[in-house]
Structure 1
Amino acid sequence: MQTTKTSRKAAFTGIKSRVHVVVLRPVQASRALVPVVQSVAAGATEAAKVDGRALRRSLNQTGRYVRQPTNDPVSQQLMDEHGVGYSTNGLVAQMRNDGNIWKQGTVTVKLAKAYGYCWGVERAVRMAYEARQAHPDKKLFVTNEIIHNPEVNKRLKEMNIEIIEDEGDGKDYSQIGNGDVVIFPAFGATVKELSDFRDKGVQMVDTTCPWVAKVWNSVDTHTRKQYTSVIHGKYSHEETIATASFASNYVIVKDLKEAQYVCDYILHGGNKEEFLAKFSKAVSKGFDPDTMLDRVGLANQTTMLKGETEQIGKMLEATMMQKYGPAELNNHFLLMETICDATQERQDALYDMVADPEVDFLIVVGGFNSSNTSHLQEIAEHKGLPSFWVDSAARIDVEKNTVLHKLAHGELRETVGWLTPGKPVTIGITSGASTPDRAVEEVLAKVFKIYDPNFTGIAPKDCGRLATPEEH
């Protein structure tokens, strides 16, 4: 698509840049999966017939189901080699052990206090690598991108692990047969997918994040107790599609504005046709707002803003209390603790960073289809701090001193002369929860190379492994 160039003032003092929208250059990255809306409806229909907890218990009884990593040392070694785990001897590991600060010539880098891989994501990647080691001669498939990171998904494909992509008409699982291995990604799989693969006789490796599974438990409770699930999330996101499949009745709200609309409808009623049109892609099949909003429970997509989910919960609680009275609140509103702290910790750390007067600009590293990474970029933009969101080091051209980066609302831009060699600068850097440390290290290596053409890399130094939560 041809576009016209537009210029603006330099984003920060000392840097002369021209910003313009460009035609995308090819970059090695996995195509983003956009699930079709029918996936939600199909999952909801199945949930009405299947007890979610009973289904998940039945998976254990097959003898073909794995849902815990084995901490295989060979897989760990390969993850280290591919750079898809936590850094143990690279720049990020060294920064982690030295106050999250690094000085390289005239460049000072500040790493956010909370950044990068969350425990559930690292766990999912580990289990995919372990699956390949455990089944070296079998066909392996993932029912979606394992996580939202192009490099990680590229590595899986290189290991002959096929990612089933939606080409617009749903996913084609016909190529998967008995004896094959199917990996469910960190976002989870729908009730229908779990049921179908259980009955198909395949080996199942379930890497679903335990925090996502905790949300499923809450939604399953809503179903059993006949509450409608109000899900704070994005209706087209893989995780929300899976979560909705465990609910018999649900409405998905993406933000406070949509939540307020639902609350107003609960209190005052309204135009049913308008409601159903507004949430046409975000409600269960046969949803009736006039009869299905008298008892509601709250659930969430784990990558959404924690504070926003909490606020929606308070709105629903106040609405039900106003309509039915305090004595009847528990009969009309159900709240279970399902919020994952990892997303919020990264956001809180970024709020601290954008308030740091020493930081000249920010680099955000993470997949362009990553929901939690987009929120990090959004924070920087709202605070007025110049920020460059890249999904990999491939977006940076050292010789031309250019960067192809994404804005929070989705626009891709190329900034020319984004760095000014010779001038001291302090750069803040963070990464999304699906971003391995190696991606951050590769981005910084290119930054250092632009400032110093003689830069040859950071000498490795063993810093030990990052402690992770115990699995229960």
Structure 2
Amino acid sequence: MQVILAQPRGFCAGVTRAIDIVERALARHGAPVHVFHEIVHNQWVVDDLRSRGAVFVQALDAVPDHAVVVFSAHGVSRQVMNQAQARGLRTIDATCPLVSKVHQQAQRFVRQGRTLLMIGHAGHEEVVGTMGQVDAPVHLVSSIDDVQALALPVDAALAYVTQTTLSLDDTRAIIGALLARFPDIVGPEVDGICYATQNRQVAVRALAAQVDLVLVVGARNSSNSNRLREVAARAGVPAYLVQDEHEIDPAWLRTAPRVGVTSGASTPELLVQRVVAALGVLHPDPLTPVVQLPGVREDVSFRLPAELALP
């Protein structure tokens, strides 16, 4: 049996920064440090930080007055920011800088007098946060059907932004439908997409071309991990999302001499290596040496908030 690893995979710079922020906040302020929503969408990461004193909350009402609270990598609405300020909470913003860039784009389009559309998944924390960053109505678009259902004049001055965990491939058809229906619509530059989302989807597509089965290691509530599984499946191979090694079904391996493994942008490499080790145990034949495909080498890094930067 051959195991082939995608490159790149796993943590992106925004996730690394968000986890670093919680760890440094714990070191500087001591436990507990409250975190608004999961810092990133991975239960292993959340449980590890919880064991060290992080307290994850779904509402600011659960945070004591004047306590330290970290906003997750997905970003929050202005309402949440204002509520934290009114409560006297000591806030640390772990919003991914690429998400913050989307917030700025949305605000700029609204200042220009354009009606804003958000391409993304309903209920996702990033979408909720972005839509709450502007003082104007925002129309959520998740599919081509949603485009056709928009009750807006065809000559309306519109603009769109996209959820960062969606790649160019994810949004191409929706953007095409918007452009076809609304001539006066503008959007962000192509180089404004999340590099990590696009790189991982390109990598898993290359991986799927060389294997009989793809395993994506990631949380079920991780948007980018779910998209990776969908990309592999569209490439014509069976593809499964597993949170860890315990979710591998041995039946998947019976007709898969070549197994590809990748992971979402919020998945620790430790979980990938556990999956690889489990494949060696579950398969009746010994593993040949694990191969890592060539791919983009990411060297992106983001600065920490000033209050947590090392002296």
Q: Does the alignment reach a TM-score above 0.5?
A: yes
Deviates more, 1:377-386 or 1:342-351: 377-386
Q: Which residue of 2 aligns with 1:120?
A: 14
Per-residue CA deviations over 1:133-174 (Å, capped at 9, x if unaligned) read: 1112x4311110111101001111111211113xxxxx3524
TM-score by length of 2: 0.85
Residue 258 (str. 1) matches residue 146 (str. 2): yes
**How many angstroms apart in 1 are the aligned matches of 2:153 and 2:195?**
30
Q: Which residue of 2 aligns with 1:289?
A: none
Q: Which residue of 1 aligns with 2:299?
A: 468
Aligned 8 A contact 1:143 1:163 in 2: yes
**How many angstroms apart in 2 are the aligned matches of 1:454 and 1:319?**
56
The CA deviation at 1:352 is 1.4
Per-residue CA deviations over 1:227-281 (Å, capped at 9, x if unaligned) read: 111100012100000000012121000123322443x8533xxxxxxxxxxxxxx
The CA deviation at 1:452 is 6.7
Q: Which residue of 1 aligns with 2:230?
A: 378
Q: 1:368 aligns with which of 206, 215, 220?
A: 220
Q: Which residue of 1 aligns with 2:91?
A: 204
Per-residue CA deviations over 1:318-356 (Å, capped at 9, x if unaligned) read: 4343xxxxxxxxxx4332233212112111111112222
User: Where do 1:19-418 residues align within 5 Å?
Assistant: 107-136=1-30, 138-165=31-58, 171=59, 173-178=61-66, 180-247=67-134, 248-262=136-150, 265-267=152-154, 294-321=156-183, 332-337=184-189, 338-356=192-210, 359-396=211-248, 403=249, 417-418=251-252
Aligned 8 A contact 2:38 2:72 in 1: yes
The SS at the match of 1:266 is: coil
The CA deviation at 1:311 is 4.5
Per-residue CA deviations over 1:58-80 (Å, capped at 9, x if unaligned) read: xxxxxxxxxxxxxxxxxxxxxxx
Deviates more, 1:293-302 or 1:242-251: 293-302
**How many angstroms apart in 1 are the aligned matches of 2:78 and 2:253?**
49
**How many angstroms apart in 2 are the aligned matches of 1:256 and 1:433?**
26
Tell me how large the CA RMSD over aligned residues is. 2.5
Structure 2 residue identity aligned to 1:376: L
User: Where do 1:382-461 residues align within 5 Å?
Assistant: 382-396=234-248, 403=249, 417-420=251-254, 425-451=257-283
Aligned 8 A contact 2:57 2:63 in 1: no
Structure 1 residue identity aligned to 2:7: K
Structure 2 residue identity aligned to 1:258: D
The CA deviation at 1:380 is 2.5
Q: Which residue of 2 aligns with 1:406?
A: none
Superposition misfits of 4+ residues, deviation over 6 angstroms: 452-455
Q: Which residue of 1 aligns with 2:308?
A: none
**How many angstroms apart in 2 are the aligned matches of 1:387 and 1:454?**
22
Structure 2 residue identity aligned to 1:305: S
Per-residue CA deviations over 1:164-202 (Å, capped at 9, x if unaligned) read: 13xxxxx35244211x11010000111111112123222
The CA deviation at 1:376 is 1.4
The SS at the match of 1:369 is: coil
Structure 1 residue identity aligned to 2:215: I
The SS at the match of 1:299 is: strand
**How many angstroms apart in 1 are the aligned matches of 2:179 and 2:149?**
14
**How many angstroms apart in 2 are the aligned matches of 1:336 and 1:360?**
37
Structure 1 residue identity aligned to 2:74: F
Higher helix share: 2
The SS at the match of 1:297 is: strand
Aligned 8 A contact 2:6 2:261 in 1: yes
Relative contact order, CA 8 A, sep 6+: which one is greater? 2
**How many angstroms apart in 1 are the aligned matches of 2:203 and 2:121?**
24
**How many angstroms apart in 2 are the aligned matches of 1:294 and 1:218?**
19
- Check 1:383–1:309 CA distance in 2 against 1; reply closer, same or farther (3 A cut): closer
Q: Which residue of 2 aligns with 1:69?
A: none
Per-residue CA deviations over 1:10-40 (Å, capped at 9, x if unaligned) read: xxxxxxxxxxxxxxxxxxxxxxxxxxxxxxx
Q: Which runs of 5+ in 2 are unaligned?
A: 291-296, 304-311
**How many angstroms apart in 1 are the aligned matches of 2:213 and 2:180?**
41
The CA deviation at 1:447 is 1.2
The CA deviation at 1:218 is 0.8
User: Which protein is bigger by CA-based radius of gyration?
Assistant: 1
Aligned 8 A contact 2:115 2:158 in 1: yes
Q: Which runs of 5+ in 1 are unaligned?
A: 1-106, 166-170, 268-292, 322-331, 397-402, 404-415, 459-465
Structure 1 residue identity aligned to 2:257: V
